Structure 1
Amino acid sequence: MSSKIFVNLPVADLEKSMSFYTALGFTNNPHFSDQTAACMVLSETFHVMLLTHAKWHTFTDRPIPATDSSEVMLALSCENRAAVDAMNEAAAANGGIGDINAAQDHGFMYSRALADPDGHVWEPFWMDPAAIPSDAQ
C-alpha cells in the first residue's frame, strides 16, 4: 500500500478556501467534509484538509500563524512550466496571492510561489531531472 499525505490547514472561511482549492484543480471528497472541515483531493495520494479555526483547535492548542508569516512552504510538482504558471494565475484570480516570492528559473527547474487566502504558502514547480547540470548533482 502506498502512503497518503493529508496536509491539515487552518482556514478562516471554509467556503472561500474550498472555492480557492477547487480553482487550483482540487476536488472535494464529501465523505470527509462537513461544516467544520473539507477534504480537498489533488490525487489518489495527496489531500488537503481545510479546517475551520474552531476545528483546528480540537487538534492543538498551538496558535495559528498570522497570514503574513510563513511556517512552511509546500512544494508541489507540476507536469510542465505551463502548469506552474496556470496554478499561480488561478491562485491570484481566486482570492490568493500569486508570486509572493520571485519566480525561480534554473532551466532544469522552474517554480513560482503563491499564498492561499489564509497565507499558506505553496510552491508549484516543474523539474526535468535529465537536464540537471552534472555540477549540481
Structure 2
Amino acid sequence: METKMIWANLASTDLLKTAQFYTDLGFKQNCQMTDELVSVIFADNNFVINFFSTKRFETALKGKSINTKIENEIIFSLSADSKEDVDLWFEKVKKAGGKIFSNPEKFEQGYTFGFADPDGHKFNFLYWPGM
C-alpha cells in the first residue's frame, strides 16, 4: 500500500477574495471554482491547497474550524531561490493584500518573511542555501 499524493484543505470565509489573492501572487487554480471550493496549485511539485467555504469545510471536518485570524493552525513554507527573491515576494504579497506578520529577516543561514492570506492562513517565503 502506498500514498500517491498529499494536499491540504483549508477553510475560506470569502472564496472570491481567496481566489483573487492567490491569482495576484501568480499561482494557478487547479480546477473550476465553485461556490464551495477554490483549488490552488503551489510550486513545481504541484502541491495543491483546496480552500473550501467554511460551511463545507466544517461539514467535512464534522466540527468547527479555528479562527485563523487569532489562532494558529499551520504554517506553509514556500521556497525562494535567493534573498532577492524573498524581497520580491515580500513586495508582491504586500501589493496583493497579504498581512505581513514577520518582516524579511535573516534566520540562521537563511532569509525569510511571514504573511497571512485574507483568511489568516499563514505562510512564509524562505531562502535556504543549498535547498
Query: Within 2, Cα distance between the matches of 1:4 and 1:22?
Result: 23
4+ residue runs over 6 A deviation: none
Deviation digits for residues 76-106 of structure 1 (CA, Å, limit 9, x no counterpart): 11122222222222222222212x0243314
Aligned residues: 128
Q: Deviations over 1:17-63 (max 9, x none)?
A: 111111222101225x4221011112343111111111111211133
Alignment correspondent of 2:67: 65
Unaligned residue ranges in structure 1 (runs of 5+): 131-137
Aligned CA-pair RMSD: 2.3
Runs of 5+ consecutive residues of structure 2 not aligned to the other structure: none
Report the identity percentage. Answer: 24
Contact 2:76 2:123 in 1 (8 A): yes
Partner of 1:39: 39
Please give the per-residue CA displacement for 1:95-137, whole angstroms capped at 9, x wherever unaligned. Answer: 2212x0243314731000011011111011011139xxxxxxx
Structure whose CA Rg is larger: 1
**Residue in structure 1 matched with residue 31 of structure 2 by the alignment:** 30
TM-score by length of 1: 0.80
- Judged with a 3 Å threshold, the aligned counterparts in structure 2 of structure 1 residues 84 and 111 are, in CA distance, closer, same or farther, namely same
